Structure formats: C-alpha cells, structure tokens
Amino acid sequence: MRDLKDQCWVLTEEDIDALEIGSGILGTGGGGNPYIGKLRARQALREGYELKVLPLNAIADEAMVVPLGGIGAPLVSFERLKEGREGLRCLRSLEERLGFKADAVACEEIGGQNSMEPLITGAFAGLPVVDGDGMGRAFPEMQMTTYSIYGHRSTPSVMCDPHGNAVAFENAITEKWHETMARACVIAQGGASVLASAPMSGAYVKRYSIPHTYTQAIGLGRAVMDARKTHSDPIAAICEREGGQHIFSGKINDLKRHFKGGFNVGVASIEGLDSYRGSIGQITIQNEYLMFERDGQMVTCVPDLVVVLDLDTGLPITTEILRYGQRIAVLALPCHELLRTPQALDVVGPACFGFPDVIYKPLAEAA
C-alpha cells in the first residue's frame, strides 16, 4: 500500500465543495450534515493534511482496511460539534487492541458527513480512503452495509465520543446485536460518536464495496455546480447522470419529527406544486428518507434512494433541516445491484424498517 501513493487522488478544496453536494444527494437526507463535514475537511486541508482517495483496484489483496464512520442522530451531529479526532482515536485504539497497522480506511456510508469522516481520519493518520463504501447511500443502522450483509464481522470495534471516552465491543454474536449495543452506547455518549470496525482484507473490500462512490459523489456535485453556473436545470442533470426520476414537486405543509432510540424519525407531508398540484406527497423518515408515497400510493422505497432537493437551487436538503413551507423536489435514484439481492433485501428492504406489506420494485428494472 505504501508503494502506491502515486495512485492516490489528493482532494482539493473544490473537490470537497463538490463532495458536500454529491454526498448530500446520495445521503438521502442522512449521514450527518455534509456542510459541517466540509468545514472540518477544509480545516484539515488548510492545516497541511492530505485527503487521499485510493482506487479500488490499487488495493493489495492482503491490505488491512478499517471501515469507519459516524453513528447517531443527524440532528445531534448538526447541533453539537465534534472534537475532531474521534475517528483517529478509534483507529489507533483498534490497532493497539488487535496488534495490526491499518493500510487504508474504508467509508461505511458515502452519504452526508459520513463521506468526510474517513477522509479526515485518514488525513490525520497519513492513510488513504478507498474509492467505495458500504452503502452507496446512507442507511440508519450499522448492519446495513454491504460489508456486513456479505459476511464481514464488525467486532472487535471501538467507539469514541467528543469527551475522550472510548468504548470497545469485543464480540457481538450478530451484526444486528452490534448495532443494538452501539446504539445504546451512543445515546449514553450524547447522541453522536464515531466508530471504527474490525479490519477487512483488501480482497474483501474490492469484492463487496459499492464501487467508486467518492468519484460518483464528487462528479454529482460538479454536475450540480456546473448546471448552476450555466443557469441550466441541476435537477435534470442529477437525474440524467444517475438514471433517476423527478417524482414530485411541492411545499412542505406538515412535518412531524422527533428523536427516538438514537434516531431522527418522522413524516413529512407535501402539498403538490406545478404539474403535481392537487396531489399530496408523504415521506417517511428514519435518519434518512425511507419511502415516498403520492396520494396514498407507494412510489419508491428503500433500498432505492429517495432524494429531497431545494426546488429552486437543486441543492440537497437533509432531514434535520427540513422545515415547514420549504419548496422541494423529490427524486428517486436506483441503488447499486449489491443492495438488490435477496440477501441484501433481508437487511435493507422495506420490511426491515417496519413496512412488511410494502413490496420493493427496483427502479433500475422499471420499464
């Protein structure tokens, strides 16, 4: 790995600006507010650290790659600033406990601020972040990564909070138990922390990562920025780039949202505008936008991406900054094929979020 430094992509401030937008789109409302992450990443750059992305095919099969990301409720991570080196403390504690040295960091979820957390930790540790992640979007629970779905055991793991506390999880009997115990711990730590999981081999990362998602997110952000500069339609640019659909436009006329069990949960009701006038949309929230219904009929749901954008600017709106009266566009984007297998749907399908009667119909397979 250390002989492959010339293959790394060293990010610039412009790349970080694009990543803020692209990760906000792919985050489906969750993953932590990307603006906060951008400020932290920019500060690391200005202090002389390098934020490096390594192509998946450049990883040695025997490399030790540590998956890392934030855990908790996006609203908490938006209102309470991180100390800044929680991720580095997690990484170093895990290395010490297990007696290894990491060769790279992996992103747990490309959505929102969680796209930035591995880059910042990698910068402080002098390590690259691989160009991929475990979700291709954001999901609210840790077992919902392709890493876990296809066989990786996430424990031993270490969670750190802004106060300097570090908690180690030695052996969870299932990935869901790891999530359950970590969720209880993050509530005790104030609602937002960082967690580093047991290392994966480079070979495993290459096989089971959602590939090239840093490239994807930065490309998406640049497409929106270019559209805004040329006064063209950024919403159309996103749909064209991702094979997505613009499924609703409207104004939020009711919003119920609260903190429960370590998550932001709620429902947003939307009064249709323009060609959707006379219709009512509804978005179900659990950290992320899970499902969109129009006039009582389900239109799209997890694991496909429900994306909410500002109707006038095309910029993404995360769940914690939804407000009554906002004019929004709702998009549906197809998820990666690794999330559409029966094995994956047992973990990230609508039944896993409390909707056993909802039948998932992949957007990618729609006529």
**CA–CA distance, 155 with 11 (Å, rounded to integer):** 31
pLDDT at 135: 98
Least trusted range by pLDDT, from 76-80, 96-100, 113-117, 131-135: 76-80
pLDDT at 257: 81
CATH 2.40.390 location in the chain: 234-356
Would you place residue 262 in the very low, low, confident or very high pLDDT band (cuts 50, 70, 90)? low
**pLDDT over 90 for what percent of the chain?**
86
Nearest Cα to 239, choosing from 25, 90, 8? 25
Helix (H) or strand (E) holding 117: helix 116-125
The predicted-structure confidence for 281-304, as pLDDT tens digits, reads as follows 999 998 899 999 999 999 999 999
Look up residue 132 and give its two tokens: 């991929």
Q: How far is CA 220 from CA 17, 76, 175, 321, 324, in A?
A: 11, 27, 31, 21, 27
**CA–CA distance, 310 with 330 (Å, rounded to integer):** 9
The predicted-structure confidence for 192-202, as pLDDT tens digits, reads as follows 899 999 999 99
**Contacts by residues 259-268 (CB-CB < 8 Å, ≥ 24 positions apart):** 259/73, 259/75, 259/76, 259/191, 261/183, 261/187, 262/72, 262/73, 262/183, 262/184, 262/186, 262/187, 262/191, 263/73, 263/140, 263/287, 264/73, 264/74, 264/75, 264/319, 264/320, 266/319, 268/322
Residues 191, 74, 215, 151, CA torsion sign? positive
The predicted-structure confidence for 15-49, as pLDDT tens digits, reads as follows 999 999 999 999 999 888 899 999 999 999 999 99
Beta bridge partners of 284: 267, 291
**What rounded mean pLDDT belongs to the chain?**
93
DSSP string, 240-307: HHHT-EEEEEEEEEEEEEEEETTEEEEEEEEEE-GGGTT-EEEEEEESEEEEEEETTEEEEETTSEEE
In the predicted model, is pLDDT for residue 207 greater than 50? yes
In the predicted model, is pLDDT for residue 340 greater than 80? yes
The predicted-structure confidence for 210-248, as pLDDT tens digits, reads as follows 999 999 999 999 999 999 999 999 999 999 999 999 999
Least trusted range by pLDDT, from 148-152, 184-188, 270-274: 184-188
Superfamily for 2-213?
Answer: CV3147-like domain (3.40.1610.10)
pLDDT at 2: 43
Strand 129-133 vs strand 104-107: parallel, antiparallel, or unpaired?
parallel
Radius of gyration for the alpha carbons in the chain, expressed in angstroms and rounded: 19
Would you place residue 77 in the very low, low, confident or very high pLDDT band (cuts 50, 70, 90)? low
Cβ-based neighbours of 14, under 8 Å, separated by 6 or more: none
pLDDT at 367: 45
Look up residue 255 and give its two tokens: 């919003």
In the predicted model, is pLDDT for residue 100 greater than 90? yes
What architecture is the 234-356 domain classified under in CATH? Beta Barrel (2.40)
CATH 3.40.1610.10 location in the chain: 2-213
**pLDDT over 70 for what percent of the chain?**
95
> Span 322-330, mean pLDDT?
96
Secondary structure of residue 208 in the 3-state scheme: helix
